[in-house]
Chain A
Amino acid sequence: MISIDPIAKQVMIRDGLNTFPDECCGFFYGEEDSVGNRIVKEILVVNNTKEGDRRRRFEISPKDYLRGEQFASQRNLQLLGVYHSHPNHPAIPSEQDRIAAQPYFSYIIISVLDNNTTHMRSWRLNDSFQFEEEEINSNIFQNH
């Protein structure tokens, strides 16, 4: 299960809307408990450096990846995963997403439609290198 701070969630959604019709991308940070439940607290927005069709593909440069790792160390937070958007497409990982996916990371996908509707889902690779959906828990932050 993954819980997302409302402000962090807004940052990702806004990035998806602002970058539309291209794909946005970035890192998210937080904490993980002993049974693997995650809390997302901070976001680092990075540029989609994919050369070519950024409406269908994203890429994060090695330089930005190293910056993403440093951000975690500096804030004493765990780098929990990568988010990106699927413009005019469901928030379901593609084969392209699966091939490049790393173990351990959560992959948050934001579907962004023409009418500014957004939908967010989270996925993680299992030991067979297949994606499994990770439930997003919105309740944890409701009373804060």
Chain B
Amino acid sequence: MATVIIPTPLRKFTNNTAKIDINAETIEETVRELTLNFPDLKKHLLDEKGQIRSFINIFVGDNDIRDLQQEKTSVKKDTLISIVPAIAGGR
């Protein structure tokens, strides 16, 4: 099973769980499983069109999925997936 690391601000939607094992073959399946198991997470991960929100980055190992095959990026049993919120702003 791949392991998903949940960032601190989203843990209140995963019962304060930081690491979640998911049985999936792609990032798309991983996100679907996550949001099925934790429905409150959905609006924080996906936009109205069901796409991963622009302020959410997903890393497979050290690589941003935008530099791989996006949501179609494959995951293996020992893959570490990190959800990384984009931290930005300004006056």
- C-alpha gap A78/B87 in the complex (Å): 17
The answer to whether A97 has its CB under 8 Å from any CB of chain B is yes
B88 touches A86 (CB 8 A): no
Q: Which of A53-88 contact B (CB under 8 A)?
A: 56-60, 62, 65-66, 69, 72, 78-79, 82, 84, 86-87
- C-alpha gap A50/B5 in the complex (Å): 25
A/B pair count, beta carbons within 8 Å: 80
- C-alpha gap A104/B90 in the complex (Å): 19
Summarize B's interface: helix, strand, loop or mixed. Answer: mixed
Q: A23-B91, A96-B90 are in contact. Are A103 and B10 (CB under 8 A)?
A: yes
Q: A62-B84, A65-B84 are in contact. Are A56 and B90 (CB under 8 A)?
A: yes
Contacts from B to A (Cβ < 8 Å):
5, 7-13, 44, 55, 57, 59, 64, 82, 84-91
Contacts A25-B87, A99-B55 aside, 10 further interface pairs with beta carbons under 8 A come to: A66-B82, A69-B5, A86-B90, A93-B89, A96-B88, A96-B90, A100-B87, A100-B89, A104-B12, A107-B89
Q: What are 29 pairs between A and B in contact, CB < 8 Å? A: A23-B90, A23-B91, A25-B87, A50-B90, A56-B91, A57-B89, A58-B90, A59-B86, A60-B87, A60-B88, A62-B84, A62-B86, A65-B87, A66-B59, A84-B90, A86-B90, A87-B91, A89-B91, A94-B89, A94-B90, A96-B90, A100-B89, A101-B89, A102-B7, A102-B85, A103-B9, A103-B13, A104-B10, A105-B9
Rank and list the top 5 A-B pairs by shortest CB-CB distance, nearest first.
A57-B90, A97-B89, A102-B9, A60-B87, A89-B91
